[in-house]
Each structure stands twice: as C-alpha cells, then as structure tokens.
Chains A and B, each alone.
Chain A
Amino acid sequence: MFDGFDPVTLARAQFAFTMSFHIVFPAFSIGLASYLATLEALWLWTGRPVYLDLFKYWLKIFAIGFGMGVVSGIVMSYQFGTNWSVYADKTGPVIGPLMAYEVMTAFFLEAGFLGVMLFGLERVGPRLHFLATLMVAIGTLISAFWILSANSWMQTPAGYALNADGQFVPADWYKVIFNPSFPYRLVHMVLAAYLTTAFAVGGVGAYHLLRDPHQAGSRVMFSMAMWMATLVAPIQILAGDQHGLNTLAHQPVKIMAMEGHFESHPDGAPLILFGLPDQAAGRVKYAIEIPKFGSLVLEHNPDAPMKGLDTVPRQDWPPVFIPFWSFRIMVGLGFLMFGLGLFSAWERWRDRLYRSRLLHVFAMLMGPAGFIAVLAGWVTTETGRQPFTVYGLLRTEQSASPLAAPAVGSSLIAFAIVYFAVFTVGVVYMLRLMAHPPHPGEPGVPTDVPARATGITPAIGSVVQ
C-alpha cells in the first residue's frame, strides 16, 4: 500500500502531525497553570470568592488539556527512538540527558502535585493546595526550559565533540544547555504560551460579556486577559525581533527562506510583504515589496548587503514556501494581538471595557489566535532549519530509523485516526465547558457526579477553609 512512498517522508509527516497536535496542549497548559496559580493566590490574598470560582472554572478545562498534553507527549518522547533511531544514537549523549532532566525536574513535579491540585483542596486545605498549584505551574516552566534547550541545541549546536562512532558527545554542558539560540527561543515561547492562554481566556470572557455584561466572573477574567494583551503583546514583538536577529546570526539560510530572499542584494534587500515563492524558479512571484526595508529591519541599515539563497547549494535549501507564509501568519497575528491590547487599553481608559461590543467581538474572534500563532511559529522554525536535524551537521534524510514504508505508513494512519477521534472530542469537551459562564459556587473537577450543563453540585463545590 505504501510501496511507492519514501519512508523518511512518511516519518517526517508523522512527526509533524503528532508534534503539531501535541504543542497546542502544552502551550495552553504552561499559560493556564500560571494563570491558575495567579487566581488562587488572589483568592488567598483577597478572599474574594470570584477568584475561587474562576480557579475552579479553568481548572476543569486545564484538567482536560493537561491530560491530552500528557498522552500526546509520551508519543513524542518515544518517537525519537522508533522513527529517528539514527538521530537518537548520534545525539543521545547530548540530547538524552536534557530530556531526562526534563522528566525528573518537570514531569514528575507536575504529575506528583497534579492529583492534589485537581482533587485535594478539601483534603490538604487552601495553603498546601496553593503550594501544589504553584508546583504544577513551576513544573510547566521547567519543562519549557529543558525541551527548548534541547530543541535549540538542534538548531544552534554548541559545546559538543564528535567521537569515533559518529556520535555527538558533550564537551561543555554549559554551552550545550545555553546554546546561542536558547535564551531567545525560551523567552519567545514562554511569552507565546502566556499570550495563547490570555487570548483564550479573553475570548471566553468576551463571549460571556456579549451575553451578560454584568457577569462578575466574566468581567474579572476578561480584564485580566486584556491586561496581558496590552502589556505582553508588545514585549513579545520585541522578543520576536531579537529572536529573528539571533537567527540571522546563526541560521541565515532560515532567514533567507522566511524573507523569500532567493537573490542576493548587495546594496540593500527589500522587504517582501507578500508573494508566491517558487522554489524551482528560485524567485518570488507576484511579490509586493518595500525596497531596502528588509535590510533596515534585519541590519538596521537600508543599504546593508544581504546574501540570498543563490549563495547556498540547492541541496541545503529549506522549502521556502512554507516558512515564508507561516512566518507571515505568525507576525500578522502578533500585530493583531498588539492591536487588541491597544484597543482594550483605550476602552479601559474610557471606562468601557465591559460595555464595548466591538472590543468583545474582536477579543472573541482572537480567542484562538495564540494557538495558530504558536503553530505557525514552530512551522517556521522547524521547516526553516531543514534539511537538517542537527543544523548543518546531520541531515534529516540520514536521521531516520531503518524502517520500511509500510511500517511508517501504517502508524501514520493509526495516529491520524486516533488523534482526530480522541483530541477533537477533547477539544469539544473543553469548548462545552467554556460555553457556560463561570458562576458563584462553581464546582470543581468531577469525581462522582457527571458533568451537568450548569448544575451546581454543592457537595463538591464547597470548600473547607
């Protein structure tokens, strides 16, 4: 059935598919765990029940999202071995310890305290429960630290040597962990996770404010989310710009693809706004461009010369069309987020934050923006570093397991069916929870009482203080 297919292409498709599904959940969990910790802290500090209601409201959604992140994450951790065994053998001595540290410092911390966070409020009391929530939130951030360090090492390898078996071996762990692109990628991704959650929370709050502008819980969550949009979206644009400059220094070919710079520009490169990159022809068709603006943005000098893909051997080109467009989607959404942040600040200033229907419609439409931007960003950076798994050193086509096409094709189909069947249902369950407004006496995570539409279950909702 798969005899005509290239097993490496199938393995890449499988990795891209399972990774894309997976990243959505941790991006949400990282931000939501911190948001939950903030809500619980505010509840403990102010004693206002609305914060506890919001905490329990988002905790139920967190539980579903976190569960899907866990099960899709285990697939990722085993896929290095099942489908990329040559890569695993060669990079295991460097990447392996980073991932093992992620398990020991992050996954166990999250899993160990998750049970208390979800089910333990009455058992351990509010303060110890807050500690558990905090540990889960810190765990998600530690997880981001290690996995982004590992990913960044693949993008900008440092601190390694090669041994007789062709393995990358550690020479300097500090340089391995804090490799050149890591600090930029970490900041950019953690901010992205926070913004993703903020826009999801803001979208849900806006949806409920459109129906009932006086609902207390919707007001609080919407206001908190819009503060995040106002303050963090501009920081994220700056962080993204710095990340881009770092990429220009260490992975210039990726920038050429993102910018659509097939040709070198000795006296200032244009900024191509839109166009259709044609890989075979080596040019961008129908390009709409601003002369010299590319050099101005990337080199801060309109006349700075910039090399194009014509200086790179063709077998080292990434596929230009994908990162060119995914990058524009990400940046476009970033500026829309920035715009929503400004607009909400303006309406807040005019004391219309809870009444401006235009703002609420805008915020509701922007609810999924973070998820799309995160996916577009990862597509950009992962496609843009092709054709390498370890940048410049190990080619993707030489990283795969010695598996025949039918094996990989079958697993790809199995994952596709299972992921669509399971995760779309999970997302529907999350959306159903979001469709109800938070209300006083919000119930917690269910254990014995099936979820009812908006039913209040006092036995579970009550809190021993």
Chain B
Amino acid sequence: MSASIDLAIIWAFIIAFAVFVYVVMDGFDLGLGILFPLFPAKEDRNVVMNSVAPVWDGNETWLVLGGGGLMAAFPLAYAVLMPALYTPIIAMLVGLIFRGVAFEFRWRTTAQRNRWDIAFAGGSLLAALSQGIALGAILQGVHVAGRQYAGGWWDWLTPFSVLTGVSLVIGYAFLGSTWLVLKTEDRLRDRAYALSWWLLFAMLGAIGAVSLVTPLLSIHYSQRWFAWPNIIATAPVPLAVVAVTVLLLGSLAKRQDTRPFFLALALFALSYAGLGISMYPYIVPQSITIWQAASPRDSQLFLLVGVSFLIPLILAYTGWSYWVFRGKVKAGSGYH
C-alpha cells in the first residue's frame, strides 16, 4: 500500500512537471500571439513568427502529455475535470487550431496574409484566456457526484475564473515580451523592453490579486497558507517572488538581453509552486485527492518505466533543437 501511495505522489509531480513545462514553453509562444497586434509591421511580424516557428510544435506537445498523462495516471480526475471545463477546453482547442495553422498558412498567401495574422493573434489570446479560466475553475472547485461531474456547463464562469484568465494572458504576454528581448535586435528589441516593463507590473498585480482572492475561496486554502506551522514552509514563496522581481527590475534596467526571460520563467515557477501548495493533496480541489484518482499500481508503474528515461531523452533533443536555432533572429533572412 505504501508503494502505491508513493507512486501517486510521483505521478502528481510528473503531471505537474509536464503542465509546467507546457505553461512556460507554449506560454511564450502564445504570448507572442497575444502581443502580435502591437507589432503591425510585416517584417517585425515575420521575425516574431520565425523566433518560434521551429519549436512551437514541440512546446505544444507538452499539453498532449499533460492530458494523456492525466488520463493514464489519474483517470478519475481526467473524467471529472474535462466535462466540468467543457466550454473553456473546447474554446482552447479552437484557439490552438487557429494559432497552429497560422504558422504555415500565413506564408501561403499574400492577399490574405493579414487574415492568418488575425487568426494567430486571436487564437493565441483565446487559448491563453481559456487556460487561465480553466485554472480558476479548478481552484474554485467543481460539483462531483459519485465518479462524475455533476454541475452545469456554465459553472466555470465566475469573477474569479475571469481574473485567473486575464492573469494568465498577462503572464504569457510577459513571457513573450522577454522572449523577444532574448531573440531580437534593434527597434524590435526596444519595443520588447518597453512592453516588458509594463507587463512585469501588470503580472505582479495579477499575482497579487489571485493570491489575495484564493484564500477566500475555501478555508482549506487559507489554512494551508496562513495556519501555524504551515506558514514557515509557505512564507518563502512570496519572499522569493519579491527577490525575483528585484532581479528582473535590475536586468531590465541594465538591458541584459538573456536574463529577463529566465527570471520570468522563475516568476512562473514560483506562482506555480504556490498553486501546488494550495491544491495538494487534491487533484480536484476539495473533492478528489491524488490517491482517490490514481489508476492502479500496474498502470502507473508501467508508464513510469518509460517516463524515467524518455523524458530526459525528450529534454535532450528538445534542447538540441533550441541550440540549433539559438541566437538572434534577423529580419529578412529568417534562420538562414
């Protein structure tokens, strides 16, 4: 029995890791789409697209792993959450369709090019907003009866889920702007720096707002964060956010092209850790724990064998692909 408990915790971390990698990697892709309207010049847009064209598909694959892994390791959670989040998930999928095809389609036409630029921007915004709303809907809890979702198809829509939706849009845009600081030059990089300042403050505001409201959702959250002795373990998270923010302000002021993006990732990691602290050990908050949702030991073990060597391998060749396409993207030449 103790072994199966360990497996459920291991799998909770694996799923959390896959979702986190998705959030930050597709996060900056989607952020570029969200910022796209702010770069109206065609040559700028080409550079923005080219900075992620070779890697976006790999980034998005982590979303499929998150979904597939959830079905394999915690099928009950997958079966309850997906119908509960029906509308945001469908909206996200539609957004990802428009965003994904735009990478290829926008080169295939001169007359309608702008149409696929709109699809890219609109699809990215819709996908980001839907993901944020889904996060909020999970945090606020869903109605469960037996082994099924028991609520309506608009339960997800609350002021809180809209807040988390807008917050994630801001966060992705910030990742996107710091990515552009990393990958571009000259006028485009200047725009990206200016945007990064605004978006950093907006993101801090969003983190603050979500952090303030979440403990009000449930006594579980407030006790988790503020009850003694939990606070000893949870207090470092907001303190670290302050520290990373100081570093970010410094690196933006000194115009260090590389650091802001990685510090933005750190800010995401801390926010994500905060979410994990809030939710644990529930996978459907206040209804289903990771142990209740866990698939049998044989299923989790069978997949764990593959995960233990495939994930490092995937990270290795993904890293190689990023290495191949390293450096600044220049206008007028793509990657050539």
Interface membership of B150, Cβ < 8 A = yes
Residue contact A119 to B54, C-beta cutoff 8 Å: yes
* Pairs of residues from A and B, 7 with the lowest C-beta to C-beta distance, nearest first: A92-B75, A447-B334, A115-B54, A96-B72, A81-B82, A89-B79, A111-B58
Q: Give the contact stretch, choosing among A338-346, A364-372, A424-432.
A: A424-432
* Distance between Cα atoms of A123 and B333 in the complex (Å): 13
A97 to B93, Cβ gap below 8 A?
no
Q: What's the nearest-Cβ distance from chain B to residue A64, in Å?
A: 5
On whether A77 and B86 interact (CB within 8 A), knowing A115-B57, A123-B324, A422-B101, the answer reads no
Which residues from B are CB-within-8-Å of A460?
334, 336
Q: Does A402 contact B (CB under 8 A)?
A: yes
One of B79, B109, B110, B332 near A86 (C-beta < 8 A): B79
Establish whether residues A119 and B296, one from each chain, have CB atoms under 8 Å apart when the complex forms.
no
Would A92 and B71 count as touching, CB distance under 8 A?
Answer: yes
Given contacts A93-B299, A111-B57, A448-B46, contact A72 B97 (CB under 8 A): yes
Query: B57, A120: Cβ atoms under 8 Å?
Result: no
Q: Are B86 and A403 in contact (CB under 8 A)?
A: yes
Pick the residue among A103, A411, A450 that contacts B86 (CB under 8 A).
A411
Point out the residues of chain B lying under 8 angstroms from A73, CB to CB. Answer: 64
Least CB distance, B267 to chain A, in whole angstroms? 26
Please give the distance in Å from A348's CB to the nearest CB on chain B: 35
Instruction: Determine how close the nearest CB of chain B comes to the CB of A185; give it in whole angstroms.
Output: 20
Is B231 part of the binding interface, using a Cβ–Cβ cutoff of 8 Å? no
A418 beta carbon closer than 8 Å to chain B: yes
Q: In the complex, what residues of A have CB within 8 A of residue B208's CB?
A: none
Tell me, in angstroms, the Cα distance from A320 to B131 when the chains sit together. 42
Interface segment out of the listed B217-225, B236-244, B273-281, B314-322: B314-322
> Out of A81, A100, A116, A459, which one reaches B83, CB within 8 Å?
A81
In contact, B324 and A124 (Cβ under 8 angstroms): yes
Q: Which of B164-172, B255-263, B305-313 binds A?
A: B305-313
Specify the chain B residue showing the minimal Cβ separation from A90: B75
Q: Is A104 an interface residue (CB 8 A)?
A: yes
Tell yes or no: A67 within 8 A of B by CB. Answer: yes
Kindly state whether residue A451 has any CB partner on chain B within 8 Å. Answer: yes
Count of A-B contacts with CB under 8 A?
A: 268
Partner of A104, one of B65, B93, B97: B65
Cβ of A446 within 8 Å of any chain B Cβ, yes or no, is yes
* A101 adjacent to chain B (CB < 8 Å): yes
Task: Kindly state whether residue B76 has any CB partner on chain A within 8 Å.
Answer: yes
Q: Can you name 24 A-B residue pairings with CB atoms under 8 Å?
A: A67-B103, A77-B67, A78-B93, A80-B78, A94-B299, A96-B295, A100-B71, A103-B69, A111-B57, A111-B58, A112-B320, A113-B317, A113-B321, A115-B324, A116-B321, A118-B54, A163-B296, A171-B298, A401-B82, A411-B87, A418-B94, A422-B97, A451-B109, A459-B336
Those of B112-170 within 8 Å (CB) of chain A: 113, 147-150, 152-153
Contacts of B81 in A (CB 8 A): 81
Residues of chain B contacted by A78 (CB below 8 angstroms): 67, 82, 89, 93
A68, B325: Cβ atoms under 8 Å? no
Complex formed: what's the CA distance from A83 to B57 in Å? Answer: 25
* Minimum CB–CB distance for A396 against chain B, Å: 16
Q: Do the beta carbons of A169 and B108 come within 8 Å of each other?
A: no
**How near does chain A come to B219, taking the closest CB pair, in angstroms?**
28
Q: Is A19 on the interface with B (CB-CB < 8 A)?
A: no
Q: Provide the residues of chain A in CB contact with B86, threshold 8 Å.
A: 82, 401, 403, 407, 411
Nearest neighbor of B108 in chain A, beta-carbon distance: A429
Known: A88-B75, A107-B64. A97 touches B302 (CB 8 A): yes
Closest-by-CB residue of A relative to B151 is: A402
